[in-house]
Amino acid sequence: MVKPPWRTFRLRPGDHVVEIDPGVSFGTGLHPTTRACLRLLDEYTGPPAGPLSFLDIGCGSGILAIAAARLGCRPLLALDHDPQAVSAARRNCAANKLERKIICRQADILNLHLPRKYDLIAANLLAGLLLTAAGRIIATVAPGGRLILSGILRRQYAAVRHGYRQLGFHEINRMDEGEWITGGFARR
């Protein structure tokens, strides 16, 4: 359940709460791409997956990293090029008492070099950036890992799918909502 700090909700058994105050950052949980990422994240972390490492590229408010933490992912890294987004993500991690579990950093995806690989990566960016940075993004995927690629307009999805197929990844599922498509990918 994603909620702003000023709202209260009645929880049901099994609900995980992600409290988000986006400030000026992207990521309230209302956009179709964020919702699709959250659905795939929930699907990919379910049993028997066990604890997975998680990388959020273009973290915005930190919503996906916080949700991944609630779903048991460890370790967690949230990256964004915008310093205001990184500040918002850090505030939201603290509000959710996860500031010690999620590392939030400013990073340029086009120059991304990480010391480790991750089991699950979410990149909710624009299609052009997903394609331009594809080599850097796939370099972060651990063996057997999965990618969630989002922020893609319907008319751009075929090009993104083709670009990642050329790099050895195939689509394992996809979610369509309105003009937006989110794809789940794994190495062939």
Q: Residue 24 above 60 pLDDT?
A: no
Domains of the chain and any CATH numbers: 32-187 (3.40.50.150)
Whether 23 contacts 61, CB under 8 Å: yes
pLDDT for 38: 93
**Residue 175: which H helix or E strand, with range?**
strand 169-177
Q: Kindly report, residue by residue over 105-135, the tens digit of the pLDDT.
A: 999 999 999 999 999 999 999 999 999 999 9
Q: What is the torsion angle, in degrees rounded to the nearest 10, for the CA atoms of residue 153, residue 156, residue 158 and residue 160?
A: -100
Q: Kindly report, residue by residue over 142-184, the tens digit of the pLDDT.
A: 999 999 999 999 999 999 999 999 999 999 999 999 999 999 9
- Tell how strand 141-153 and strand 118-124 pair up: parallel
For residue 97 the two structure tokens come to 């008492």
Q: Kindly report, residue by residue over 44-81, the tens digit of the pLDDT.
A: 997 776 789 999 999 998 999 999 999 999 999 999 99
Q: Summarize the confidence of residues 72-98 as an average pLDDT.
A: 94
